[in-house]
Chain A
Amino acid sequence: MISKYVVNIAYFLHTCHPYQHSKIFFYNLLENQNYRYKKYFDYFMIGLIFLSVYILIRSVKHEISHDWLIFNNYIISLIFLTEYLIRFWIYSNNSKIIIDQYEHDLFLHREFSFTTALKKMGKEKFKYISSPMAVIDILAIMPFFHELRIFRIFVLFRVLKFFRYAKSLRRLISILASKKFEIMTLVIFALIMIMVSSVLIYVMEANHPDSKIMTLADALYWSVVTIFTVGYGDIVPVTSEGRSVAMLIIVAGIAVISVATSIVVSAFSEKIDEIKEEKLLEEVSRLERFYLICGYSPLTHEVIRKLHKRHLPMVVLEKDSHKVAQARTQGLLAIGHDSASLHTYHLLKVNFEKQVEAVILLHESDVTNIYAALTIRELTKHTSLFSILHHPENRRKLSLAGIESIINPHELIGMMSKIVSTQPIAFEVIHALRSEETSTVVEEIWLDSGMGERFFKLLHDPLFYQRFSVLGIYKYETEKFLFNPSPDIEIQMGDVAIVIANRSLVDEFRTKLHRKQKR
């Protein structure tokens, strides 16, 4: 009966949108590094930690007002407790565990085993409770029981909560964790050395009247201070035997420090590329809009150089590490991952519709470009795909892979040869207009409905007359280009005027057109 009731509740929660949405919201807020509001939550918690520590320090020599103590012991602790409970809640999905168990038992024609489901749920939750960060969280809540004086010191555990909110600290821990074995070996070695030297120095010095080493605790203190090469000098060996031990300990201490340093340095140097890559991926996922260029080659370099004027970031995906290094030396945002792998885009956390202006496939092989195109098409149907074509016979294959714009250099050269050999000046004129290397440019001016009259009126303005050519208007609706349009043409939203004039004049025209529009 209870089991049935539990299953019903599990199904209800599993399909209850408000419940699921709130769970997702809290998961994003507490765990999702890419959630835009998470950082504000982290700042808030860091602020509370600082405040707690400040109150603790101030309370040592000053009287703290009652309100502040209440705030520190109850309010902050309650906030931390709430956070702890929410983390406990979102760590695993109990309703799913119950449903899975129920359906599993149902499939095998068994009675639903609520106990098994309960065990699974308990196991999952215990995983959270026993995790180091959760232990720190619970210790940070302890000042709530401030009546027990000892718990006041637990405020310091709140400092350890920084690991939750400071990414760089988490990274440091993960780097050091990669050298767990070496660090453990060193710690064991240091402990053995401390133990041996403590006993030795105690045996050598404890009975000497001038020695300050009276107890084993004194010996232990002296050993730790000596082995880590601090040497306060408050306790010094006075016997020859003790000094011999000290010399050995100092040498061993130097070795411990050196090995510890080398472990940390090697951990960092091994992880440095990984860290850089991680930072790059973060940088890309934060970009609002960018061009995604797959493949790095001399052509890529040239395309980027030309696109530079657009002031839109460009991200290069290239699997070859040498090419990635080359791209990075050019100051490019180059990611060393395969553009034809879904895993790459999951790593990048890229939202094609929102972030990617266009994908440009510039690998040095049609095969790779097709493969990458098909991968991208699995993720998005709407993002524009451009590709270079290396072998004309592959054109149809590229089209089938979902690439809308195919650039065939052979065909371009053929067409250019024709115009260059027959009308070289005409070609140069168009080339100069498009290259934007002269002051005269050919530009697109986006129009809005009702702009027609103003547009044609402005053309008769003395500033623009004779110096501003309207080549034509591209009709958005019919996708037709109307050459040398007459002033009575109806302008609709999305229509584009193609004009030829001095760059400054085009800017001025745009400004005047929109200013008049506002009026």
Chain B
Amino acid sequence: MNQSCAAIFGYNEYSKQIIQKIKGLYHNVGVFVLNDEELIAAQNHGVFAEKFDLSDNWQAIEDRFNVDALVVFCALRDDAENVFLTISLRATYEHLSIIALAKDNESMMKMKSAGANKVMPILQIAASVISDILAKPIVTEVLHDVLYEDSDLSIMEIEVTNTSPLCGTYLHDTHFKQDFDVILLAVVDHEMGTTFSFASHGHNHHIDGGDVLVAIGYKEKLTRLKRWVRGEAS
């Protein structure tokens, strides 16, 4: 996703955390609330918020953001309102990136049907984390650091350009581990859309321009690999 601005609907504990984590990534972050209570709460926390209603009037959003570069977080308290908000946004903006919160899997299915690109079921996420910590504590800790924390070890999506030295080669010809100290996790075949296949499947994938590599490694080494894959440096 190449969005430069974010709109968050609803102001509650979840939105606060979303704002805190994403504010460094987007140059324009806006909060929209349904009622005065949330509006006052946001203002008390120094967050500029605007009121909106669930009608089809999105003028406030269009005035403030470039909708083509906008990502929307639907984080209203009520699942039904979130579903309605999602379906309203999708009805108006076909290509808008919508990330929605749902209480559980049941609501998640509704939100996906309503047109959300990504839905986060709170109940299942919390349960997964608890069971992951209990079942594989070390794996969970390492992957948590890789995904969420600002640690040296990181994960990166690297798109193969048409001018990349990788174009036309096969996956088994690559030696990212030895050459770049980076581990390739998965490959997304651009012809297959966003579905990925794990590198450890052993499938000797033919790399083309537009494919996406998902790799883990230290940040500077990932950056080096990224530049090389894009044909910017050796």
Residues of B within 8 A of A428 (CB): 194, 196
Which of B3, B136, B145 lies in contact with A443, CB distance below 8 A? B136
Q: How many chain A residues touch the partner (CB < 8 A)?
A: 64
List 19 contacting pairs A-B, 8 Å CB cutoff, sorted by A. A302-B127, A358-B134, A392-B13, A407-B126, A421-B25, A425-B212, A428-B196, A429-B214, A430-B146, A433-B185, A434-B139, A444-B138, A466-B202, A469-B183, A472-B142, A483-B216, A484-B181, A500-B185, A502-B201
In whole Å, how far is A305's beta carbon from the nearest beta carbon of chain B?
A: 7
Instruction: Decide yes or no: A467 and B1 within 8 Å by CB, A415-B21, A415-B147, A421-B6 being known contacts.
Output: no
**Chain B residue nearest to A390 in the complex (CB):** B13
A423 with B157: CB separation less than 8 A: yes
A426 with B157: CB separation less than 8 A: yes
Residues of A within 8 A of B130 (CB): 303, 306, 360, 386, 388, 407
CB of A57 closer than 8 Å to a CB of B: no
List the 9 shortest-distance A-B pairs measured between CB atoms, nearest first: A414-B17, A302-B127, A306-B131, A415-B148, A467-B202, A418-B21, A414-B21, A410-B13, A440-B198
A435 vs B142: C-alpha distance when bound (angstroms): 15
Stretch from B43-51, B61-69, B116-124, B224-232 contacting the other chain? B116-124
Q: Mark B165-186, 1 if CB is under 8 A from A, else 0.
A: 0000000100001000111011
Q: Which positions 83-126 of chain B face chain A at CB distance < 8 Å?
A: 97, 99, 101, 104, 117-118, 120, 122-126
Residues of B within 8 A of A481 (CB): 138, 142, 145, 153
**Chain B residue nearest to A310 in the complex (CB):** B135
A483 with B217: CB separation less than 8 A: yes
Which of A303, A412, A444, A496 lies in contact with B131, CB distance below 8 A? A303
Instruction: Decide yes or no: A386 and B21 within 8 Å by CB, A421-B99, A426-B155, A429-B196 being known contacts.
Output: no
A429 vs B195: C-alpha distance when bound (angstroms): 10
Q: Mark A482-500, 1 if CB is under 8 A from B, else 0.
A: 0110000000000010101
Q: Which positions 34-86 of chain B face chain A at CB distance < 8 Å?
A: 71, 73
B118 with A484: CB separation less than 8 A: no
Q: Which positions 411-458 of chain A face chain B at CB distance < 8 Å?
A: 411-430, 433-435, 438, 440, 442-444
B127 with A421: CB separation less than 8 A: no
A440 vs B199: C-alpha distance when bound (angstroms): 10
B22 with A469: CB separation less than 8 A: no
A423 vs B157: C-alpha distance when bound (angstroms): 7
Known contacts A413-B125, A421-B22, A471-B142, then 16 further A-B pairs from the complex at CB < 8 Å, ordered by chain A residue: A299-B123, A302-B104, A303-B127, A407-B129, A407-B130, A409-B125, A418-B18, A426-B147, A430-B143, A430-B155, A434-B139, A434-B143, A444-B136, A467-B202, A483-B183, A483-B216
Q: Mark A101-117, 1 if CB is under 8 A from B, else 0.
A: 00000000000000000
Q: Mark A279-305, 1 if CB is under 8 A from B, else 0.
A: 000000000000100000011001101
**Chain A residue nearest to B186 in the complex (CB):** A429
A413 with B139: CB separation less than 8 A: no
Interface residues of A (CB under 8 A from B): 291, 298-299, 302-303, 305-307, 309-310, 357-358, 360, 386, 388, 391-392, 405, 407, 409-430, 433-435, 438, 440, 442-444, 466-469, 471-472, 474, 481, 483-484, 496, 498, 500-502
Which of B14, B126, B128 lies in contact with A388, CB distance below 8 A? B126
Instruction: Decide yes or no: A419 and B172 within 8 Å by CB, A291-B134, A440-B201, A498-B142 being known contacts.
Output: no
A424 with B1: CB separation less than 8 A: yes
Which of A419, A421, A425 lies in contact with B147, CB distance below 8 A? A419
B217 with A484: CB separation less than 8 A: yes
Instruction: Decide yes or no: A426 and B202 within 8 Å by CB, A306-B127, A307-B131 being known contacts.
Output: no
Residues of A within 8 A of B148 (CB): 415-416, 418-419
Residues of A within 8 A of B18 (CB): 413-414, 417-418
A307 vs B1: C-alpha distance when bound (angstroms): 34
In whole Å, how far is A303's beta carbon from the nearest beta carbon of chain B?
A: 5
Residues of A within 8 A of B138 (CB): 444, 474, 481, 496, 498
A90 vs B99: C-alpha distance when bound (angstroms): 70
In whole Å, how far is B33's beta carbon from the nearest beta carbon of chain A?
A: 17
Residues of B within 8 A of A433 (CB): 143, 185, 198
A91 vs B200: C-alpha distance when bound (angstroms): 68
Residues of B within 8 A of A419 (CB): 147-148
**Chain A residue nearest to B202 in the complex (CB):** A467
Residues of A within 8 A of B201 (CB): 440, 467, 502
CB of B20 closer than 8 Å to a CB of A: yes
**Chain A residue nearest to B177 in the complex (CB):** A484
A443 with B125: CB separation less than 8 A: no
A309, A414, A498: which has the most chain B beta carbons within 10 Å? A414
Instruction: Decide yes or no: A434 and B132 within 8 Å by CB, A303-B127, A410-B17, A474-B138 being known contacts.
Output: yes
A410 with B14: CB separation less than 8 A: yes
A302 vs B71: C-alpha distance when bound (angstroms): 30
B14, B25, B129, B188: which has the most chain A beta carbons within 10 Å? B129
Residues of B within 8 A of A307 (CB): 131, 134-135
**Chain B residue nearest to A481 in the complex (CB):** B142
Residues of A within 8 A of B196 (CB): 425, 428-429
Instruction: Decide yes or no: A421 and B134 within 8 Å by CB, A305-B127, A414-B14 being known contacts.
Output: no
A309 vs B128: C-alpha distance when bound (angstroms): 12
A298 with B129: CB separation less than 8 A: no
Q: Which positions 196-211 of chain B face chain A at CB distance < 8 Å?
A: 196, 198-202
**Chain A residue nearest to B197 in the complex (CB):** A440
CB of B160 closer than 8 Å to a CB of A: no
Residues of A within 8 A of B118 (CB): 420, 424
CB of B31 closer than 8 Å to a CB of A: no
**Chain B residue nearest to A440 in the complex (CB):** B198
Residues of B within 8 A of A440 (CB): 198, 200-201
Instruction: Decide yes or no: A423 and B155 within 8 Å by CB, A474-B138, A496-B138 being known contacts.
Output: yes
**Chain B residue nearest to A470 in the complex (CB):** B183
